[in-house]
Structure 1
Amino acid sequence: MKETDELRAMVHTLAARVQVLEDQLEIMQLVAQYGPAVDSGAGAAAAALWTDDGAFDAVPQLQMRGRDDITAMVHGDGHQSLIRDGCGHVLTVPHVVLDGDQATGRSYALNIRWDADAGRFWVARVSANTWRWIRTPQGWRITERINANLDGTAEHRDMLAPDAEQVAPKSKEVAQ
C-alpha cells in the first residue's frame, strides 16, 4: 500500500472516530439541557429537544406525544407548583449507543426538591430512563424518552440493563 493510501485510510478512520465523539457529545448536551429547561419553566425550550412527533412517557403518570404536550406539561399547574416550591431535575450522563443517524441510551434521573420547613433538599424520585435519538437537519433530537420510577418494579430496573455487547464496546468499531 502506498504511503498516500495509508494516510488517506488513517484520515478516514480518524474522521469517523471524531464523528462518533461529536455525535455522543451532542446527544449528551441535548440531555443536559432538559433539567435547566423544565426547572426554569421554559416549556418551548424543553419541547424543542424532541422531534415534532416525539414521545415522552413519565410512567405511570403521563404520556406525552409531540412538542405541544411537552410544553403543556411544563406550563401545567403540577409542574409549575414543583418549580415554585424549589425543584431540580438532574439527569445523569446517558450511555449512548450510536447506529448511524439513530441512537439509543439509558440513564438515571433524579427529582430533587426543596423542603423549606427542614431547610434542606431531598431526593423525591430516582428513575430509569431509556432514550431514542435521531439526527435531524437541526441536529440530534429525542424521539422517545421513557422515565420510570425505580420503585422496585422489575421492568423499570430492567430498563437500565445493558446488552452484553454494549458492556465493553470495541474502540476500533468505527474503522470497520
Structure 2
Amino acid sequence: MTETDELRAMVATLAARVRALEDRVEIMQLVAQYGPAVDSGSGEAAAALWTEDGVFDVAGQLRMEGRDDIVAMVAGGHQSLIRNGCGHVLTVPHIVVDGDTATGRGYALNIRWDAEADRFWVARVSANTWRWVRTSAGWRIAERINANLDGTAAHREMLAPPDGSA
C-alpha cells in the first residue's frame, strides 16, 4: 500500500467515524427536544420530531399514530399536566446506528409539581425503546414505546441489550 493509499484509507475511516458521531449527536438532540416541546405546550414542535407516520405508544394507555395524534395529545389531556407543573425528563438513550436506521433504549421520568407540599415528585419512570430513521430533513422518530417500570417483566426487558451485550 502506498502512502497515498494509506492516507485515503485513513481519511475514509475518519469520515465514517465523524458521520457515526454526528448521527448519534443528532439523535440525542432529537430525544432532548421532546420534554421541552411537550412541557411548553408546543404540539407541532413535538410532533415534528416524528416521521409523518411515526408511532408513539404509551403501553397500555395510549397509542398515537402520525403527527396529528401527537399534536392532539399535547393540546388535549397534556394541558392539565402543564398547568399543574410538569417536566418530562428523558435520559440519554443507548443508540445503535445501522445505516439510515437506528434503535435505542433508555428511561423517561415524569416529574410533577405538588403545590401543597411545595415540592416536585416523580410520578412515572418508564422504559423507552426507540426506532429512528434518517430522512431528508434529518433523523426522525419512527417509533417510541414508553412503558411504566411497574414490575412488569416485559417492561423491564425493554431495557435489555438486544443481543445480550451492553
TM-score range with shorter-chain normalisation?
Answer: over 0.9
Q: 1:92 to 1:20 in 2, by over 3 A?
A: same
Q: CA deviation at 1:166?
A: 4.5
User: Which residue in the other structure is 1:33 paired with?
Assistant: 33
User: Which residue in the other structure is 1:133 paired with?
Assistant: 132
User: Which residue in the other structure is 1:112 paired with?
Assistant: 111
Deviations 1:142-174, CA, capped at 9 Å, x for gaps: 00000000000000000000134642xxxxxxx
Matches within 5 A, 1:27-66: 27-66=27-66
Normalising by structure 1, what TM-score?
0.93
Q: 1:121 to 1:130 in 2, by over 3 A?
A: same
CA distance, structure 2, for counterparts of residue 67 and residue 163 of structure 1: 28
User: Which residue in the other structure is 2:4 paired with?
Assistant: 4
User: Which residue in the other structure is 1:171 paired with?
Assistant: none
CA distance, structure 1, for counterparts of residue 24 and residue 140 of structure 2: 12
Deviations 1:26-69, CA, capped at 9 Å, x for gaps: 00000000000000000000000000000000111100000000
Equivalent position amino acid for 2:25 in 1: L
The unaligned stretches of length 5 or more in structure 1 are: 168-176
Runs of 4+ in 1 over 3 A off after TM superposition: none
For residue 159 of structure 2, give the secondary structure of its aligned residue in structure 1. coil
Q: CA deviation at 1:105?
A: 0.2
User: Which residue in the other structure is 1:103 paired with?
Assistant: 102
Equivalent position amino acid for 1:137 in 2: S
Normalising by structure 2, what TM-score?
0.98
Q: 1:5 to 1:100 in 2, by over 3 A?
A: same
Q: CA deviation at 1:130?
A: 0.2
Matches within 5 A, 1:7-26: 7-26=7-26
CA distance, structure 1, for counterparts of residue 45 and residue 18 of structure 2: 28
CA distance, structure 1, for counterparts of residue 51 and residue 157 of structure 2: 26
User: Identity percentage over the alignment?
Assistant: 79
For residue 24 of structure 2, give the secondary structure of its aligned residue in structure 1. helix
